[in-house]
Structure 1
Amino acid sequence: MDWDQATHGLPAALGIGLLIGAVRERQHGNAASAQAGVRTHALLALMGAVALALGQAAFLVALLAAALLAWSSYRVTARDDPGLTGEVALLVTVLLGGLALEEQELAAALGVVVAILLWAKAPLARLSREVISDQEMRDALLLAACALVVLPLLPETAIDPWGVLVPARLWRIVVLVMGVGMLGHIALRAVGARRGLPVAGFFSGFASSTAAVAGFGRGSRVSAALVGPSASAALLANLASLLLFAAVIGTTSPALLRASAWPLLAASLLLLAFSLLGLRQVKEETLPPTSAANAFRLGHALMIALVIAVVLLVSEGLRQLFGQAGALAGATIAALGELHAAAASIASLAASGGLELATARWGVVTLLASASLAKSILAFASGGPRYGAAVSAGLAAMVVGAAATTWLVPG
């Protein structure tokens, strides 16, 4: 071990031990039984660093000694404190002390993470036992399985003769829809329904902006005072859907997302501006009845993937028969019912070279116009003339802004 390594590694190890020990001291300083505190953890961290400097054999002996110390401590405190957190923290401190000798930055970062985990005992226990429901835990495990187990097993090559159906790419869309649904659900639960229509509208848009337009339209019929706020909530739902729309395009074709960045930004700003007009009429935080039992619906995500696959095949068939105009026509029709599936088809064709980038940019605008037409009709049907007019105005401004920016700003 050279002098430079020692002057950086040993102070880092000492700091890690002092930090972890301080947290343990504050948590168990008044405990009846003895607990390892500041001095113990600082010495263990230094022991780990010095032992590693002496060689791997010495470090293994030090780690074994710390394990024996932890075992002895557990035998003394098991009756009053049957948990193993303190004993595991002793071993982690030794390991981080050794790591600090080689990788000071990584060891320091991990030391902070360990200290936070030790300090957050009560909040984490409350989160896992009281805040998170069984359904939300199942949803989180399902999302993790889809992202970490299923996705790596899927092939990255097309399975159809035309080269448009890539299983891994389709499944990424499923994971993306589920993930944003989970994030929206968590945020809505954290903020609470009392924050009002804006929060509920924005986060419900990640699941289904079409359903949000219909739901808030029905809610606006309860009171005339809710028409403006309900329309704003519906537009915020479409803003969230537009963000997901951009994410789907970026996942499938990063080049198309870069080319369409300014039109999508203009559309988002105009949607936000029109939604703020209705929020000025909010006098009390009243929400229509909503259900938040599930963070996301797996069936909905799988249906989107299925529709995407069908749209990709249909668009490719139309492209081969009628060229680029046929592919755009197929995606536009699909956007009347499912915007994100149509976005995936346009982006996939752009990524594979089936559509020129300039044509695909106008295809993005066309998809927004098609989806806005369907949602405007739904707004009039569900919420009446005032609600329908407010929602339609915001959606029309979004389309006009995207079209004007596409025309004025080259891709």
Structure 2
Amino acid sequence: MNLLEQAFGAQAGLAMGLMAALGSGLLIGLERERHKGRGHAGTRAQEPAGLRTFTIAALAGALAHGLAVPGLVAVGALAITVLAAMAYFRSSERDPGLTTEMALLATYLIGVLCVQAPLLGAPAAVTLTALLSARTALHRFATRMLREDELHDGLLLAALALVVLPLMPTEPLPWLAGMKAHSLMGLMLLLLGLQAFGYVALRLLGAQTGLALSGLMSGLVSSTATIAAMGQRARAEPPLFLACAAGAVMSSAATWLQASLMLLALAPEAAMSFLPMGGAGIAVAGGAGLLLARQARLTQKAQASDAAPATAKAVQRGGPLRLKEAALIALLLSVVTVVVSWAEQRFGSSGLFGAVALTGLADAHAPVASLAGLAHAGQIDARLMCQGVLAAIASNSLTRSLTAWLAGGPRFALIVASVLFSSLALAAALLWLLLPFLS
């Protein structure tokens, strides 16, 4: 900038904007020039604009803004629009698309932006060029890879995040133990987002990770249900025993992951105290799941490769989101929060742990969320919150171990229970070491 100031003085800003506009126009124009020969007719004369046209359009936008003549930017945009419309009508029979014409107008506006804010104009040009060059990949994704139910779920998730969430009240609700409707809605979106992430990962990675990744994704909704499903399949198809065990163990890693994320979403400050315990649980359960999955691939490659595609198809059926389950969990969270808050106020810490352990037998998510709400409201400290979370996970581990035995048999239950209580023991040891530092 110093060199520009020495060379152009007070016009150094305009000079930088013109250079940014020149580079932006050249970048977009190069992509359009290369695209000319790839049309339906296969002729280079098919596209009305190329390298020089796009560069001139960007420079025209920069000059229109730099000259500071009132209305000149709007007149220039109108002129570009008219020229683009004329070019479209001339080539519409051969190429009915509007991409080049719209890109020409966007390039003019990027040129204007380059003078106003060069650090925004240049990235905008790069983004537009990437979007134009990804035409084939985007077309394939929209028409071949993206299914109707996936599009529906994506739009639903976007609507909940961008429309519903901002409208939710942010005031604490006394009848909900001080929790906020906005936080509960955010928690529900977190559950849906984790479902979507696991679904996308499964589709991208394919059948190679199959049952293990399916277990991780399903565990974000219900680890108990996942262990039951994996146990039943392991009993019905013995060659898939290790792969099903990997899926069941990965679902327990999802429990630790989801507990950590829920605490961060609902009580960020207190959640920092739990992260070492959550990380230990994820490391033990996730590491065991990966080892089991690796062993399953090494010993049963043929059987695992036949079973994993079926798992992927089962996950894909009905779309990536399970809104009903997420909404029920959010509703359960509100009920459990009231119960745990009442028990803490009536009976103190002993009542709190009793309520947490009792509700944890059915589901670990609900007591974790209620403890986070109480910590955020200042009713309990970080030490009590961490102890309560471990009590909830320990209680739920008993349920999951019994489920594993009933669904998959003693050997299956031994593997699952060993991982469950090993991760819990390590987390408890870390909590005991960190207790003097928690408040």
TM-score (norm 2): 0.89
Identity, % of aligned pairs? 34
Shift of 1:205: 2.2
The one-character-per-residue Cα deviations of 1:82-114 (angstroms, maximum 9, x if unpaired) are: 121111101100100111112111111111111
Asked whether the 8 Å contact 1:193–1:200 carries over to 2, the reply is no
Counterpart in the other structure of 2:40: none
CA spacing shift, 1:250–1:34, aligned 2, 3 Å = closer
Counterpart of 1:72? Answer: 86
Aligned match of 2:46: 33
Residues 336-351 of structure 1: pairs in structure 2 closer than 5 A? 336-351=361-376
Describe how 1:146-157 pairs up with structure 2 within 5 A: 146-157=160-171
Paired AA for residue 151 in structure 2:
M
Q: 2:233, 2:244 within 8 Å by CA — same for their partners in 1?
A: yes
Cα displacement string for residues 314-373 of structure 1 (whole angstroms, at most 9, x for unaligned residues): 111111211232223212222222211111001001111111211111112112211211
Q: How does 1:99-248 map to 2 (within 5 A)?
A: 99-161=113-175, 163-248=177-262
- Residue 333 of structure 2 is aligned to residue 325 of structure 1: no
| Structure 1: distance between partners of 2:353 and 2:120 | 50
Query: Whole-Å Cα distance in 2 between the matches of residues 357 and 2 of structure 1?
Result: 57
CA distance in 1, matches of 2:272, 2:103: 47
1:390-405 superposed matches below 5 A = 390-405=415-430
Letter in 2 for 1:141: L
Question: Are the structure 2 counterparts of residues 182 and 162 from structure 1 closer, same or farther at C-alpha, using a change threshold of 3 Å?
Answer: closer
Partner of 1:3: 11
State the Cα distance separating 1:208 from its structure 2 match: 2.6
| Aligned with residue 20 of structure 2, among 2, 12, 33 | 12
The alpha-carbon deviation at position 209 of structure 1 amounts to 2.0
- Secondary structure (helix, strand or coil) at the match of 1:221 reads helix
State the distance in 2 between where 1:394 and 1:77 align.
Answer: 65
Which of 52, 55, 58 is the equivalent residue of 1:45? 58
CA contact (8 A) 2:254 2:282 kept: no
**381-390 or 202-211, which deviates more:** 202-211
Question: Quick check: 1:262 aligned with 2:302?
Answer: no
Rate the CA distance shift 1:219–1:163 in 2: closer, same or farther, 3 A.
Answer: closer
Q: Deviations along 1:187-213, whole A, 9 cap, x unmatched?
A: 212222243322222223223322221
Residue in 2 that maps onto 1:22: 30
Select 1:312's aligned residue among 337, 353, 368. Answer: 337
1:301 aligns with 2:314: no
Confirm or deny: 8 A CA contact 1:225 1:281 kept in the other structure.
no
Runs of 4+ aligned structure 1 residues displaced above 4 Å come to none
**Residue pair 1:151, 1:171 contacting (<8 A) in 2 also:** yes
Paired amino acid for 2:388: G
Structure 1 CA distance, aligned partners of 2:288 and 2:78?
Answer: 65
2:408 aligned partner: 383
CA contact 1:44–1:90 (8 Å) conserved in 2: yes
Alignment partner of 2:17: what SS?
A: helix
What letter is aligned with 1:396? F
The 1:207–1:32 alpha-carbon spacing in structure 2 relative to 1, beyond 3 Å, is farther
RMSD of aligned Cα (Å): 1.8
Check conservation: 2:259, 2:278, Cα contact below 8 A. no
What is the distance in 1 between the residues matched to 2:334 and 2:328? 10
Matched residue type, 1:300: E
In the alignment, residue 173 of structure 2 is paired with which amino acid?
A: I
Give the length in aligned residue pairs.
411
Give 1:360's aligned residue: 385
Asked whether the equivalents of residues 324 and 354 of structure 1 are also in contact (C-alpha less than 8 Å), the reply is no
On the 8 A contact 2:216/2:247 being kept in 1, the answer is yes
How many Å apart are 1:161 and its aligned residue? 4.3
Distance in 2 of aligned mates of 1:244 and 1:354: 23
Tell me which moved more, 174-183 or 288-297.
Answer: 288-297
**Would the alpha carbon gap of residues 356 and 12 (structure 1) be closer, same or farther in structure 2, given more than 3 Å must change?**
same
Is the Cα–Cα contact under 8 Å of residues 176 and 337 in structure 2 kept in the other structure? no
Do the aligned partners of 2:25 and 2:54 also contact (CA within 8 Å) in 1?
yes
| 1:383 partner letter | G
The letter for the 2-side match of 1:230 is C
C-alpha distance 358-2 of structure 1, shift in aligned 2 (>3 A): same
Is 1:276 aligned with 2:290? yes
For the residues of structure 1 that align with 2:255 and 2:22, how far apart are their CA atoms?
49
Partner letter of residue 303 of structure 1? Answer: L
Which segment is superposed worse, 86-95 or 217-226?
217-226
| TM-score, length-scaled by structure 1 | 0.95
The 3-state SS of whatever aligns with 1:155 is coil
Q: SS where residue 2 of structure 1 aligns?
A: helix
